[in-house]
Amino acid sequence: MARLSQTKPPPDAEARRAATPVAVYDVHRLPAYDKAFFDNARADMTRIGETIVPPREGRAFDVPAGRFFRIVSVEGPQVGDLNLWNAANLAERFFSGKTRALHATHVSTGDRLWSTFPYLRPMATITHDTLDWYGFDAEGAGVHDVIGTRCDPYTNRLLAGADYHHCCHSNLARALSARLKLPLDAAEPHVHDVLNVFMSTGFTRDEHRYFMKASPVRPGDFIEFFAEIDLIGALSACPGGDCSASHSSDAATCHPLKVEVYRPRPETLRDWRSPPVNAYAGERGE
Ligand SMILES: [Zn+2]
């Protein structure tokens, strides 16, 4: 759909367009990624948990603060949709929009997954990404986006006029419902915009429309996170499979995903503490 343009450009249109872009956020005050700390902690880890997420399904998993977790490609190219909650407080959950604004449209090693207001702190830090070689391709696509939301039955109903019950939104809702023993309609409102793990996406050059293309992920690839606080995670193995053609249906070939949880040696975390919630005291603090 081309954008309607009914207005004649003003005489100084080009001058207005020539304004210099400025980064919206100056992130230099954020603590730098502590590569030495993470390299030391992840050098000798013990696997303490494993969850298989079946194709077109979701599963929840727990990661205590100070542990690592990996989302691993197994069997074939597959995209995953990730949600994160503070295990002690579901109101604190992953904030995809602010993560995008602070870091970029796609995230990789060194980036943090931030939580919602009024907490706004790192929930997890990305510590390894075997797809970090991909960068941004000729079409502007990158991997692991925080620009999409998640495939869902409502948009599908709107656009396809059909009902499909294995969209990532529904898979995540069922996974959280099972983990917390909550009725499905009580769990669903906690589902939020995701990190699209392994998904290759971008915006078209001409109209800036959201596009996807075949994920470059292959079995053995993984993205690894350090849990900064006690987490409940949920992961959906997207019905779009590698998201090369379609989603929200049974058309695509799908594969499972694996979540692995690792414990580093305790002495590597001796001086480490969970980040406190955001220091802004708001109007309460006046
Ligand atoms: Zn999906």
- HSE toward the beta carbon, residue 106, CA cutoff 13 A: 22
238 Cα: distance to centroid of ligand 1 (angstroms) = 4
Per-residue model confidence as pLDDT tens digits over 156-167: 999 999 999 999
216 Cα: distance to centroid of ligand 1 (angstroms) = 16
Do residues 225 and 157 make contact, with C-beta atoms less than 8 angstroms apart? no
38 Cα: distance to centroid of ligand 1 (angstroms) = 31
Q: Which two tokens stand for residue 52?
A: 């298989």
156 Cα: distance to centroid of ligand 1 (angstroms) = 11
Which H or E run contains 86? strand 80-86
45 Cα: distance to centroid of ligand 1 (angstroms) = 31
151 Cα: distance to centroid of ligand 1 (angstroms) = 4
Q: Which among 231, 233, 228 has a CA at the least distance from the CA of 41?
A: 228
Per-residue model confidence as pLDDT tens digits over 150-203: 999 999 999 999 999 999 999 999 999 999 999 999 999 999 999 999 999 999
150 Cα: distance to centroid of ligand 1 (angstroms) = 5
Residue 234 CA to residue 83 CA, distance in Å, equals: 5
Tokens 């990190």 correspond to what residue?
A: 195
- The confidence score (pLDDT) of residue 281 equals 86
167 Cα: distance to centroid of ligand 1 (angstroms) = 5
Do residues 260 and 72 make contact, with C-beta atoms less than 8 angstroms apart? yes
240 Cα: distance to centroid of ligand 1 (angstroms) = 6
Per-residue model confidence as pLDDT tens digits over 56-109: 999 999 999 999 999 999 999 999 999 999 999 999 999 999 999 999 999 999
Q: Quick one: what percent of the chain has pLDDT higher than 90?
A: 91
252 Cα: distance to centroid of ligand 1 (angstroms) = 11
123 Cα: distance to centroid of ligand 1 (angstroms) = 22
Question: Strand 112-114's sheet: what is its strand order?
Answer: 45-53, 257-264, 68-73, 222-227, 122-129, 112-114
188 Cα: distance to centroid of ligand 1 (angstroms) = 15
Which H or E run contains 46? strand 45-53
